[in-house]
Amino acid sequence: MLYSFQENFVLPLSHDEVVHGKGSLIGKMPGDERQRFANLRLLFAYMFAQPGKKLMFMGDEFGQVREWAHDTSLEWHVLQYAVHSGLQEWVGQLNRTYRSEPALHLLDNNAAGFEWVDCNDNLTSTISLLRKSESAKDTVLIVCNFTPIPRLGYRVGVPAGGYWHELLNSDALEYGGTGVGNLGGVNAEEVSAHGRPYSLKLTLPPLGALFLKAG
């Protein structure tokens, strides 16, 4: 982030991360099975929230368990299991949202397209940020909870009032999550927070990411 807008960047989770004894991405995740897949969905959400184009090596998108090998097929058979098919659906939805929301890609190489809300909440291991386009109505809020503890009533400052609906929730049931969230969205309150005139009182899913947009 010190020089992210001085060059054109690609954010890679590449071939080199899953070969030569390094194991698979899902194999690097801590916790039980549910937590490992939640962690990986959160990692992908954080990558898509950041400026820069995305690169993901084949097999990562559905959580291949074994290390990649050039002489064998990908483990397509694991898609029969809900945690793997849910992860694949999550990556697909991230791609569709990335393409459809101008704030997530239009100003990738411009500092005006990115703004931290709070990157200092080390007590709860939670970060929040805004991605922006040339129009304020396109602004997307991303909040990531990097702990296995749900956060209830977590207040995040936002630049506009009205209803903010959940574009994405990495903990949704269809992605293999536990279904913790905000029932589709939340109304902004005229309570200042993080230097902004309005704020949202959110339920943050464990090891989860939310993408929200006003309107």
Are residues 179 and 130 located together in one domain of the fold? yes
* Domain end position, chosen among 66, 82, 102: 102
pLDDT reported for residue 2: 80
Are residues 116 and 206 located together in one domain of the fold? yes
* Domain end position, chosen among 69, 102, 135: 102
In-domain check, residue 4: no
Pair 170, 90: CB distance under 8 Å: yes
Helix ranges restricted to H, the chain: 25-28, 33-49, 82-100
Are residues 29 and 55 located together in one domain of the fold? yes
Q: Show the CA angle centred on residue 134, arms to residues 130 and 139, nearest 5°.
A: 30
In-domain check, residue 80: yes
Task: Kindly tell me if the per-residue pLDDT of 74 is higher than 90.
Answer: yes
Per-state percent for the chain, helix, strand, coil, to nearest 5: 30, 30, 40
In-domain check, residue 46: yes
Mean pLDDT, residues 168-197 taken together: 97
Structure-token match 């009182």, residue found: 201
Pair 1, 9: CB distance under 8 Å: no
108: left (phi over 0), alpha (psi -120 to 50) or beta: alpha
Are residues 58 and 126 located together in one domain of the fold? no
192: left (phi over 0), alpha (psi -120 to 50) or beta: beta
In-domain check, residue 69: yes
Q: Show the CA angle centred on residue 194, arms to residues 116 and 2, nearest 5°.
A: 25
Are residues 116 and 63 located together in one domain of the fold? no
Q: What is the pTM of this model?
A: 0.95
Tokens of 17: 């991360």
Q: Is the dihedral angle over the CA atoms 168, 170, 176, 178 positive or is it negative?
A: negative
Reduced to 3 states, what is the DSSP secondary structure of residue 18?
coil
Mean pLDDT, residues 113-124 taken together: 96
Closest CA to 54 of 2, 18, 23, 14: 14
pLDDT reported for residue 153: 97
In-domain check, residue 27: yes
Are residues 84 and 63 located together in one domain of the fold? yes
pLDDT reported for residue 39: 98
Average pLDDT of every residue of the chain: 96
pLDDT band at 6 (very low <50, low <70, confident <90, very high): confident
Are residues 209 and 116 located together in one domain of the fold? yes
Are residues 117 and 98 located together in one domain of the fold? no
In-domain check, residue 25: yes
Are residues 137 and 161 located together in one domain of the fold? yes
pLDDT reported for residue 8: 87
Give exposure, 173-196, as e/b (b: 16+ Cβ within 10 Å). Answer: eebbbeebbbeeebebeeeebeeb
Pair 8, 109: CB distance under 8 Å: yes
pLDDT reported for residue 173: 98
pLDDT reported for residue 177: 97
Residue bearing the bigger pLDDT, 1 or 66: 66
What is the domain-level CATH number for residue 197?
2.60.40.1180
Mean pLDDT, residues 184-197 taken together: 97
Quote the number of domains for the chain: 2
Task: Kindly tell me if the per-residue pLDDT of 53 is higher than 90.
Answer: yes
Q: What is the pLDDT of residues 133-176, one digit of tens each?
A: 999 999 999 999 999 999 999 999 999 999 999 999 999 999 99
Pair 182, 202: CB distance under 8 Å: yes
* Domain end position, chosen among 57, 74, 102: 102
Are residues 117 and 208 located together in one domain of the fold? yes
Tokens of 198: 């309005």
Are residues 115 and 98 located together in one domain of the fold? no
In-domain check, residue 209: yes
In-domain check, residue 1: no
pLDDT reported for residue 7: 86
pLDDT reported for residue 141: 98
pLDDT band at 99 (very low <50, low <70, confident <90, very high): very high
> Domain span at residue 48?
10-102
Are residues 41 and 90 located together in one domain of the fold? yes
